[in-house]
Amino acid sequence: MPKEDKEKRSGNYRMTLVDVNTHKVLWGLRVTPLRFATILITVIVVLILGAFMLLSLTSLKTFIPGYPDARSRRTALQNSMTIDSLEGVIKKWEFYSDNLRRVVQGEDPVKIDSLIKSTSGKEIDARDAEMLHGRDTLLRQSVKEAEAFGLTSGAPRQLPIEGIHFFTPLKGVVSQGFDRAIHPYIDITAPANSVVAAVLDGTVINAGWSDDGGYTITIQHEDNLISIYKHNQTLLKRTGDRVTAGTPVALVGNTGSLSTGDHLHFELWYRGEAVDPSRYISF
């Protein structure tokens, strides 16, 4: 029996740190198999968490193969803009070859005006024209009834920006979003010479050239709203012109020193403060 009890107690161990010269015990730790396994698992978990925090919160993550750094993201954006430009060139050649085929076969060539109209949302207008006309009729009728009973005042009505319906200035891809601190506007990539439209009714208060923004047009709208369109290839309106929502005002280009490809630099200002256009407009 004493021998069996000794074998049962053989699972307890002690780790000690002893001075070689004096044989004095400096440190000791009683260890059991369960305690040893617990300490080992704890150490492994701490090491894994430490490595994860080091890689996720420091710049070391850029050394991970396949992780996109700032340069690769910039390259991807430039490649996307280049692809969009190439698609625009391909469409031009397709238009040219189609016209050439029509001329050879004795048919009438496609006019450039019809091409511009097709890129300015003709399909959407054709599909929703009846619905929009019905809404407009109901709105006009309600306004007339309100004025008949004296429910409206003579002062202009100030609507919150959330209640305003904006026309989409350009259908494309938002390549860089809104940042109030460093990028208080958005960039929309689209093929060169795509039609840029006014977002609301208004008056052109500036249309011209600047070294940074290229061909730029600025429109003053009601309710303290201003829209700005930069880096255009061509301006279709002049200062002082009156425009309505959806009116073509420019063609997409790559002008100005701050432009690196065909796109629209679009700003929306409300009561003297830049706001995020993507919150109110679907691109």
Phi, psi of 150 (to 5 degrees): 70, 30
How is residue 209 annotated by DSSP? E
**Which residue has better confidence, 149 or 202?**
202
Q: What is the pLDDT of residues 214-253, one digit of tens each?
A: 999 999 999 899 999 999 999 999 999 999 999 999 999 9
Supply φ then ψ for residue 181, to 5 degrees. Answer: -85, -50
Residues in the chain: 283
For 45, residues 6+ apart whose C-beta sits below 8 A from its C-beta are: none
Domain 167-279 has CATH 2.70.70.10: yes
- Answer whether 207's CB lies under 8 Å from 237's CB: yes
pLDDT in tens, 113-158: 555 445 444 444 555 666 666 666 666 666 666 555 444 444 455 5
Query: Is this prediction's pTM over 0.75?
Result: no
Evaluated on CA atoms 183, 185, 189, 191, the torsion sign reads negative
